[in-house]
Amino acid sequence: MDLNKFLYNLSIWAIPALFAITLHEVAHGWAARCFGDRTAELLGRLSLNPLRHIDPLGTVLIPGLLLALGLPLFGWARPIPVALGARGSRWSLIVVALAGPAANILMAIIWFALLAALLRIRIGATVDDWVLLMAQAGIVVNVVLALFNMLPIPPLDGGRVLASVLPARLGSRFEKIAPVGMLIVFGLVILGQFQWLFDPTQRAMSHIIDAVLIGSAA
């Protein structure tokens, strides 16, 4: 492994990835609060401070290892506690689940806007290249995270949505695979079983980014 290359890639991807998973989780908490669940707020988790959401394994160790190995970036933050209880209608559970991916799509749009603005401002070749690469990383990581989380596997958000639309008894049984669901997902990522999602998404984002770059140079 080339240490210099690893550290350079880490400097590009770390900030977008940290804020992607942080705002993803905070969005769940804010959506739950809108339905009367203040659990995350009372625990101090409705914070944009990434340190409050870091999971040593999912936020640091595994993403760093994947980045070093050149594999698709994958990770997670400490889940936001949601306790809607009897107040939680199917609609509220679906909205809370979709809030995370929606936040990632919004962040991807913000990174796009930043990329377009940076192309009109010249700070210096080295800084320009680094920040432009970070903006591109922010676009890719947020779109991939949004789509990945919509896979219908508990405890991913898509799994929660599916459990909410299934008949109550079936949905309850489906949710019981959540404790092992993340292990299954991680194993499938390592085995490259999600390339059908990662590769086309990254190619599509690359084409869009290239179009923006070419358009700004014209």
User: Which of 25, 37, 157, 175 is labelled catalytic?
Assistant: 25
The encoded tokens of residue 145 equal 């995270």
Residues 6+ positions from 40 with CB-CB distance below 8 Å: 28, 29, 32, 33, 46, 80, 81, 82
Among 170, 40, 48, residue whose Cα is nearest residue 162: 170
Is the CB of residue 103 less than 8 Å from the CB of residue 141? no
41 as an active site residue: the answer is no
Neighbours of 166 (CB within 10 A): 15
Which of the residues are catalytic? 25
